[in-house]
Amino acid sequence: MTPGESATRAEVCAVACAEAWRGDGEVMASPFGTIPAIGARLARLTFAPDLVLTDGEAALMANTPAVSARRGELVLEAWMPYRRVFDVVWSGRRHIMMMASQVDRFGNQNLSAIGDWARPKAQLIGVRGAPGNSVNHTTSYWVPAHSPRSFVEHVDMVCGVGYDRAAAAGPAATRFHEVRVVVSNLGVFDFDTPDHAMRLRSVHPGVGVDDVVAATGFALVLPDPVPVTRAPTVDELELVREVLDPRRARDKEVPS
Amino acid sequence: MGDKRASLEEMVGELRDGMTVGFGGWGSRRKPMAAVRAVLRSGVRDLTVVAYGGPDVGVLCAAGRVRKVVYGFVTLDSIALDPHFRTARQQGSVEAMEVDEGMFYLGLAAAAQRLPFLPTRAGLGSDVLRVNPGLRTVVSPYDDAEELVAMPALRLDAAFVHVNRADTHGNGQVLGPDPFFDDLFLGAADRRFVTAEKVVEPGGLLDHGPIQSVTVTRLLTDAVAEAPGGAHFTSCPPDYERDEGFQKRYASAAADPEAWAAFDARYLGVDDAGYRAAVDEDAADVDAGGGGA
């Protein structure tokens, strides 16, 4: 049995998230969600050792402990209160992976409200820092439950700015704009197409292209053939299982 | 130098219906909750609430005192969404100005610097500009000619922040890891109110922490009140962490008018001493194995 066959879907997703930060060098990786948090830590422990990680409070972590680590297990290296995070955001030395309640064909993201914003069907958390993040530094998204309700033709409220909206807003919006990848429980998606429409970059092992197409509320660009997301290596699986997530929090986000 | 000590009642006595009021802290962290409850007792209404929103927003919305909320998010941290705020938005009972949280920071900074606006990339291309039609852009007067968002100053009639320690002159000290944006809320406001876990004599703050922890100077303060437990049930490290059990009861009470009425009567319909007595009683119940989760 190869490692890929023994890896769970959650573990494949963690490695796919880690891959988002490959080649970024010394930037602040800001993962939201359990599996992106595992992914960012895995990237730092393997192919992206210069990544900077926060403790989720007001500091940067020198060590790379489990996502379930208690505060006493953290070794801190610098102060990063909320106000200083904006210095990092606006300087561009950051690659965030946010969650998206909705994401659309051109990488616009919504985490503010479902329905008409003026009187929403469902009020969510608010735009948070998504507008500023997306036009200042590299942004990726994580969608743990891929469905036609999360992958939509048009998001109800553009929080994170996609390629079409950035272009319409002009050079000040496109200058530092990059939506790198969207990782879901079904596959990995990017915007490496002539008009920056979302492309299926790879399907996770065991997922059919038809499954992805059926779960997506717009027409994806489909390469032929569609690659399969790479399997975790033996070392990566050991890091995820033994070091980064021994309590299997990842299974709650993406059940096997 | 003046002694700025005042009571919570004296502070909120300066508020009027329709005012714009800022609250410091962030999410469910170091929120001036004793001041929020005093605002409820004062009876003022039609407030515009400006906050990195947590239960301050939720409590005031649930009590029907809010006309408008200015925010980038409203969250309880360990509970992602504040159900009271959600209900107010979904019923259309409050107006909203929702902006990027960096825009929010610049709005406070502009007000504190007495500027009409500060420029930023944040907001460009997003629906923040669509849902806030009053927002304008500005073109750089230099060769780049970039068109940026002009985030308007968020002027406040009054601001409340809660810190770990303060002195009688109104210097404030944050002993936890994050000072948040409290000094900017005060700088943006006409009337500036600080509550503290403990108020000490002038010069005494350095017995509690290093000079860098005194992030609020008396230049930013009109009145200071001692309010032990004044951030409860939000976190106020190192004095106390968030009361997660209490926060769960606060959130779940939103689902049921009867549960909210009981919560309101027990915790909000009482003065500060009554609130603390009720919280102490809850803690005793939990210790005795009689309650809590």
Contact A81 B90 (CB under 8 A): no
Task: Supply the pLDDT for residue A256.
Answer: 86
Q: Which residue of B has its CA nearest to A156?
A: B127
Nearest chain B CA: its distance from A231 CA (Å): 32
Smallest Cβ–Cβ distance between A166 and the set B99, B125, B181 belongs to: B125
Task: Supply the pLDDT for residue B283.
Answer: 86
Smallest Cβ–Cβ distance between A129 and the set B98, B100, B147 belongs to: B100
Contact B71 A126 (CB under 8 A): yes
Q: Which residue of B has its CA nearest to A108?
A: B126
The gap between the terminal CA atoms of chain B, to the nearest Å, is 49
Smallest Cβ–Cβ distance between A83 and the set B105, B146, B148 belongs to: B105
C-alpha B70 chain-centroid distance: 12
Maximal C-alpha separation, chain B: 70
- Whether A224 has a pLDDT exceeding 90, the answer reads yes
Task: Supply the pLDDT for residue B286.
Answer: 76
- pLDDT tens, A39-56? 999 999 999 999 999 999
- Whether B290 has a pLDDT exceeding 80, the answer reads no
- pLDDT tens, A70-128? 999 999 999 999 999 999 999 999 999 999 999 999 999 999 999 999 999 999 999 99
Interface residue of B74, B106, B121 to substitute, partner A, most A CBs within 10 Å: B121
Range of the domain at A209: 3-251
The residue among B18, B52, B59, B19 whose CA lies nearest residue B38 is: B59
Contact B102 A161 (CB under 8 A): no
Task: Supply the pLDDT for residue B289.
Answer: 62
Task: Supply the pLDDT for residue B139.
Answer: 98
- pLDDT tens, A153-168? 999 999 999 999 999 9
Q: Mean pLDDT across chain B, nearest whole number?
A: 96
B284 falls in which pLDDT band (50, 70, 90)?
confident
Q: CATH no. for residue A224?
A: 3.40.1080.10
CATH superfamily of B8-99+154-226: Glutaconate Coenzyme A-transferase (3.40.1080.10)
As beta bridge partners, residue A203 has A187, A228
- pLDDT tens, B158-201? 999 999 999 999 999 999 999 999 999 999 999 999 999 999 99
Q: Does B75 touch chain A (CB under 8 A)?
A: yes
Task: Supply the pLDDT for residue A207.
Answer: 98
Domain count, chain A: 1
Q: How many Å apart are CA A242 and CA A65, to the nearest integer?
A: 11
Q: What number of residues does chain B have?
A: 293
Q: Where are the domains of chain B?
A: 8-99+154-226, 117-152, 245-287
Degrees to nearest 5, angle at CA B115 with B157 and B145: 140
Nearest chain B CA: its distance from A80 CA (Å): 8
Q: Does B17 touch chain A (CB under 8 A)?
A: no
Which residues of chain A neighbour B75 with C-beta distances below 8 Å? 125-126
Nearest chain A CA: its distance from B180 CA (Å): 6
Q: Mean pLDDT across chain A, nearest whole number?
A: 97
Task: Provide mean pLDDT across the span A3-19.
Answer: 89
Which residues of chain B neighbour A125 with C-beta distances below 8 Å? 73-75, 80-81
- pLDDT tens, A127-139? 999 999 999 999 9
Specify the residue for token string 């005795």: B288
DSSP chain A: --HHHHS-HHHHHHHHHHHHTTT--S-EEEE-SHHHHHHHHHHHHTT-TT-EEE-SSSEEESS---TT--GGG--EEEE--HHHHHHHHHHT-EEEEEE-SEEETT--EE-SEES-TTS-SEE-S--TTHHHHHHHSEEEEEESS-STTTEESS-SS--B--HHHHHHH-HHHHTT-EEEEEEESSEEEE--STT---EEEEEPTT--HHHHHHT-SS--B--SSPPBPPPPPHHHHHIIIIII-TT-THHHHS--
Task: Supply the pLDDT for residue A73.
Answer: 96
Asked, for residue A221, whether it belongs to a domain, the answer is yes
List the structure tokens of B47: 């407030």
Q: Does B136 touch chain A (CB under 8 A)?
A: no
Size of interface A-B (CB pairs under 8 A): 139
Nearest chain B CA: its distance from A124 CA (Å): 7
Smallest Cβ–Cβ distance between B126 and the set A57, A119, A161 belongs to: A161
Task: Provide mean pLDDT across the span B216-230.
Answer: 98
Contact B86 A123 (CB under 8 A): yes
Asked, for residue A128, whether it belongs to a domain, the answer is yes
Q: How many Å apart are CA B197 and CA B109, to the nearest integer?
A: 26
Contact A132 B102 (CB under 8 A): yes
- Whether B110 has a pLDDT exceeding 80, the answer reads yes
- Whether B1 has a pLDDT exceeding 90, the answer reads no
Which residues of chain A neighbour B121 with C-beta distances below 8 Å? 90, 132, 135-136, 172-173, 176
- Whether B83 has a pLDDT exceeding 80, the answer reads yes
B288 falls in which pLDDT band (50, 70, 90)?
confident
Task: Supply the pLDDT for residue A67.
Answer: 97
Task: Provide mean pLDDT across the span A205-225.
Answer: 98
Asked, for residue A148, whether it belongs to a domain, the answer is yes
- Whether A4 has a pLDDT exceeding 90, the answer reads no
- Whether A235 has a pLDDT exceeding 60, the answer reads yes
Q: What number of residues does chain A have?
A: 256
Task: Supply the pLDDT for residue B293.
Answer: 43
Interface residue of B28, B68, B101, B184 to substitute, partner A, most A CBs within 10 Å: B101
Asked, for residue A256, whether it belongs to a domain, the answer is no
- Whether A1 has a pLDDT exceeding 80, the answer reads no
- Whether A169 has a pLDDT exceeding 70, the answer reads yes
Nearest chain B CA: its distance from A211 CA (Å): 30
Contact B101 A128 (CB under 8 A): yes
Any idea which of A3-12, A17-26, B90-99 has the lowest mean pLDDT?
A3-12
Per the CB < 8 A criterion, the answer to whether A148 and A34 are in contact is no
